[in-house]
């Protein structure tokens, strides 16, 4: 059995509005609904655990009624940080789940191929994350206003879903929280387990700014 924890705790501040970005309508429905449907399109039997701040849950339920959204999911409360939110979601994952993915609620354009690659690889290595190549020139800040060009071939951009064996993820999340934990891969690596990279898809953007929303509207056709 597969499971996915979809973390949607954004407040929408960078969007410049009052509605959290995961609830903004794109392509006829809120972004978050598109995201949930992607995983159920990959695996109709997948357990979806949706993590939302308690203060947003009533509004989400209203949206579900408004858009007649009936996809199955289990609702978990958001935490103080992303780490704590994922940990809350993990507590509700079925004990029968062998693989657990963690995905950003505002990444509705993850391809089925990317999801499949991450879950298939994690079935062998216990830890897999999708990445894309760096296409821009990048510079390393060396301090006091100085910088230097570094080889972009040495770097990758990280996406979600990040997928792990259930046992590994539960063990990794038993660690005390530190500021080092920026994503799930960092939690698992700190626990001592290596992470395997798989090919992601360029469209799998994280919608956080008005420009991202414009791109999303173009990709979904309105």
Query: Could you read off the pLDDT of 103-112 as tens digits, one per residue?
Result: 999 999 999 9
Q: Cβ(100)–Cβ(166) under 8 Å?
A: yes
Q: What are phi and psi of 62, to 5 degrees?
A: -65, -40
Q: Classify the C-alpha dihedral 136-121-47-76 as positive or negative.
A: negative
pTM: 0.94
Sorting pLDDT into bands at 50, 70 and 90, what band is 15? very low
Structural domain range at position 160: 2-220
Q: Which residues of 8-45 are buried (b: 16+ CB within 10 A; e: fewer)?
A: bbbebeebeeeebbbbbebbebbbbbbbbebbeebbee
Per DSSP, the residues of 146-194 read: EEEEE-GGG-EEE-S-EEEEHHHHHHHTTSPP-TT-SSHHHHHHHHT--
Reduce the DSSP state of residue 131 to 3 states and report it.
strand
**Element of type H or E holding 24:** none
Sorting pLDDT into bands at 50, 70 and 90, what band is 10? low
Taking the C-alpha atoms of residue 102 and residue 86, their distance in angstroms, rounded to an integer, is 8
Reduce the DSSP state of residue 204 to 3 states and report it.
coil
Q: Cβ(91)–Cβ(47) under 8 Å?
A: no
Q: Is the pLDDT of residue 147 over 60?
A: yes
Q: Cβ(164)–Cβ(171) under 8 Å?
A: no
Q: Cβ(106)–Cβ(26) under 8 Å?
A: no
Domain count, the chain: 1
Q: Which residue has the tokens 């509005």?
A: 17
Q: Cβ(108)–Cβ(216) under 8 Å?
A: yes
Chain segment 55-71, per-residue pLDDT in tens: 999 999 999 999 999 99
Sorting pLDDT into bands at 50, 70 and 90, what band is 220? confident
Q: Which CATH number does the domain housing residue 144 bear? A: 3.90.550.10
CA 145 to chain centroid: 34
């Amino acid at each position: 059995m597969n499971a996915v924890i979809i973390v949607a705790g954004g407040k929408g501040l960078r969007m410049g509005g009052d509605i959290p970005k995961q609830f903004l309508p794109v392509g006829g429905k809120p972004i978050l609904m598109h995201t949930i449907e992607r995983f159920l399109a990959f695996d109709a039997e997948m357990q979806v655990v949706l993590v939302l701040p308690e203060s947003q849950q009533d509004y989400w339920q209203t949206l579900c009624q408004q858009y007649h959204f009936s996809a199955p999911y289990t609702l978990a409360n958001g935490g103080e940080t992303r780490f704590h939110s994922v940990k809350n979601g993990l507590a509700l994952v079925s004990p029968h789940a062998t693989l657990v993915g963690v995905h950003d609620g505002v990444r509705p354009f993850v391809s089925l191929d990317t999801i499949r690659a991450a879950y298939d690889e994690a079935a062998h290595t216990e830890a897999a994350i999708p990445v894309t190549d760096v296409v821009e020139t990048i510079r390393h800040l060396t301090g006091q206003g100085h910088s230097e060009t570094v080889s972009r071939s040495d770097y990758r951009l990280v996406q979600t879903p990040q997928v792990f064996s259930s046992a590994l993820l539960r063990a990794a999340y038993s660690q005390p929280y530190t500021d080092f934990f920026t994503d799930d891969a960092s939690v698992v690596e700190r626990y001592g387990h290596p992470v395997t990279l798989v090919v992601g898809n360029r469209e799998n953007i994280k919608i956080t700014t008005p420009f991202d929303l414009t791109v999303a509207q173009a990709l979904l056709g309105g």
